[in-house]
Copies of this chain bind each other. A is one copy, B any other.
Amino acid sequence: MKPGRVLIIGAGLAGSLLAVYLARAGWKVELVERRADPRARRLAVGRSINLAISARGLKALRRAGLEDTVLKDAIRMRGRTIHPVAGETHFHPYSSDPTLAINSVSRSALNLTLLDAAAAEPNVTLAFEERCTGVDPTRAEATFVHDPMGTTRTVTADLIVGTDGAYSAARAALQKSERFDYSQDFLGHGYKELTIPPVTVGPYAPFAMEPNALHIWPRGESMMIALPNPDGSFTCTLFWRHDGDGSSFAAIRTAADATTHFQSVYPDAVPMMPTLGEDFERNPVGTMVTVRCNPWVRGCVALLGDAAHAIVPFYGQGANASFEDCESLLDALTHESTIDAALARYQRDRIANANAIADMAKYNFVEMRDLAGRASFQRRKKVEQFLHRMAPERFTPLYDLVSFSTVPYTEAKARGAANVRAVSTAITLFVIAIIVAVMILAVLLARFALGLGAP
């Protein structure tokens, strides 16, 4: 296919990486963003502060020559540090291979890196503060309002890609077309970001605690997590129910209530959070949504990233999955002879995988907030890692498949389900072996005792 003109709506993580890919493949790229240019003031785009980049994301960044740049400012997290209400913290590695880690990176820094790379491509034209007001798949055109001036313009292209996030304007246009399956499904939990600032003294200074870990305070129905930043701070995220009693954003609203609650539920964190009360009052409560749709393609319009499949953050795979989308679309446009065929191939490749990681991300919330705090769960994890060491080709734990491999999410999910059965079987066989061993021992002892008592 001869590369033509592509309009990318949204210069977030996915849109910026896609712009780099397609520009280098010879496409004339117009990249249009609703927000102001973050490069001007090196501003954060969006709200959430950091994210975890793992194998899939690194592979996609490598393809753009950006892996080293991104990893330079990343902090490796080799496992989870669990903080119980009382008692010592304990560390659980993510993999039986101690060299494997996920990478805590700043979302805004990553976005700037990608935007800088896109802007450096001669084939890329950038526009900011232009809000998409409509996309017409039949005429291959999109309309924008330049918010500061109120002026409007229409952009036509051979290909339009909507990378404009969970509340995508491109998707809203497609949603009105016939037979467009769509769902948006909100978690009953919301999130609030808090902070643990750097320290000057202590075993991990400038970090207040072990930096090479993702910290979790699992509390059953709710949790707090903390991810390290290069400046020695941690970004904490509180995941509480929106409504109800106990740990909920409806029940706890003031600095005083938050501090009291933290002292009883997250006692070891309180001394590390000097601005807890004011942060709690000031920072907004975010919502978390799972968005699914089908098709992802109408005419020459395709959806990509959160616009096609917003997922909850609990597997740290949102950005990684979106970067995989970019690779898939690039490959499809490279290998197919028409845009139609390429887009059909792209959505055939990606929809089932996006649904699989959406399911796994929802499940992982239960694992993090509830199971991670249970001894039975930790035992199962140890059995998994034991099986992996015994038969690395035949048994790979789900976490490794998702975070440290690039096998399709659908395959990871299926193998994860098989793993659960295998672990149960292994535990059953182990218990039977113990029972048999005890019985043999009992028989031997009985024989010995009888032998002693024999005349």
Contacts and interface: CB of A to CB of B under 8 A. Distances in A.
Contact of A179 (B180, B182, B287): B287
A47 to B, nearest CB: 14
Copies of this chain in its oligomeric complex = 2
A437 B268 CA distance: 74
A178 to B, nearest CB: 6
A181 interface: yes
B186 A242 contact: no
Interface string A158-189: 00000000000000000100111111111000
Contacts of A175: 184
Contacts of A186: 178-181
Interface residues of A, number: 12
Interface string A174-212: 010011111111100000000000000000000000000
A171 B184 CA distance: 14
A182 B185 CA distance: 7
A185 B181 contact: yes
A242 B179 CA distance: 10
Contact of A184 (B181, B185, B242, B287): B181
10 contacts: A175-B184, A178-B186, A179-B186, A181-B184, A181-B185, A181-B186, A182-B184, A183-B183, A183-B184, A183-B185
Interface of A: 175, 178-186, 242, 287
Given A178-B287, A179-B287, A182-B183, 11 more contacts: A178-B186, A180-B184, A180-B186, A181-B183, A181-B184, A181-B185, A181-B186, A182-B182, A182-B184, A183-B183, A183-B184
